[in-house]
Structure 1
Amino acid sequence: MQSRMTQHSEPLAIERLSLHDQIANRIRDMIIEGYLEPGARIDEVGLAEKLGVSRTPFREALRTLAAEGLIVTRRSKGSLVRKFSAEDVRQMLEVLGHIELLAGQLVCERASEDQVADLLALHAQILDRWKARDRMAYYKLNQEFHSFLGQSSGNAVLAETQLNLQARLKRVRFMGNRDPEDWDRAVNEHETMAEALRARDGARLGQAMKQHLDATWERVRHQM
Structure 2
Amino acid sequence: MADPIPLRGTSLHDGVAARLRTMVFDRELSPGAFIDELALAEAWQISRTPLREALKVLAAEGIVELVPRRGARVIELTDADAEQLFPVMAMLEGRCALEATQRASDDDLLHLRRLHDQLERHAAAHDIDGYYRVNHDFHSFVQQLAANRWLDRVTKDLRRFMRLWRGRQLQLPGRIEASINEHRVLLDAILQRDAARAERAMHDHLMAQLAALKALQRREKKQKHRA
- Give the TM-score category using the shorter length: 0.7 to 0.9
Equivalent position to 2:102, from 109, 114, 125 = 109
Q: How far does the alpha carbon of each residue in 1:69-99 deviate from its partner, in whole angstroms, 9 at most, with x for none?
A: 3212244231111122211221111111011
1:179-218 matches, cutoff 5 A: 179-218=172-211
Partner of 1:80: 73
Residue type at the aligned position of 1:148: F
Which structure's CA Rg is the greater one? 2
Q: CA deviation at 1:104?
A: 1.5
Say how many residue pairs are matched: 210
Is contact 1:172–1:220 with CA below 8 Å preserved after alignment? no
Q: CA deviation at 1:16?
A: 9.8
1:38-77 matches, cutoff 5 A: 38-49=31-42, 51-54=43-46, 55-77=48-70
1:131 aligns with 2:124: yes
Partner of 1:3: none
Question: Could you say if the C-alpha distance between residues 188 and 17 of structure 1 is closer, same or farther in structure 2, counting changes exceeding 3 Å?
Answer: farther
Q: How far does the alpha carbon of each residue in 1:127-161 deviate from its partner, in whole angstroms, 9 at most, with x for none?
A: 23333443333222211211221121131111111
Partner of 2:143: 150
Partner of 2:113: 120
Is contact 1:196–1:205 with CA below 8 Å preserved after alignment? yes
1:89 aligns with 2:79: no
Q: Percent identity?
A: 35
Give the TM-score taking structure 2 as reference length.
Answer: 0.78
Q: Secondary structure at the match of 1:176?
A: helix
In structure 1, C-alpha distance between the alignment counterparts of 2:209 and 2:85, rounded to whole Å: 11
CA-based RMSD: 2.7
Q: How far does the alpha carbon of each residue in 1:163-222 deviate from its partner, in whole angstroms, 9 at most, with x for none?
A: 111101112242121234112211211111111111111111111110111111111125
Residue type at the aligned position of 1:192: V
In structure 1, C-alpha distance between the alignment counterparts of 2:57 and 2:141, rounded to whole Å: 21
Runs of 5+ consecutive residues of structure 1 not aligned to the other structure: 1-13
In structure 1, C-alpha distance between the alignment counterparts of 2:125 and 2:49, rounded to whole Å: 38
1:223 aligns with 2:214: no
Q: Which has the higher contact order (CA 8 A, sep 6+)?
A: 1
Q: How far does the alpha carbon of each residue in 1:41-89 deviate from its partner, in whole angstroms, 9 at most, with x for none?
A: 111112444x444235544543454344321224423111112221122
Q: CA deviation at 1:20?
A: 5.9
Residue type at the aligned position of 1:76: R
Q: CA deviation at 1:223?
A: 2.6
In structure 2, C-alpha distance between the alignment counterparts of 1:138 and 1:131, rounded to whole Å: 10
In structure 2, C-alpha distance between the alignment counterparts of 1:20 and 1:167, rounded to whole Å: 19
Partner of 1:7: none
In structure 1, C-alpha distance between the alignment counterparts of 2:124 and 2:155, rounded to whole Å: 28
Residue type at the aligned position of 2:190: L
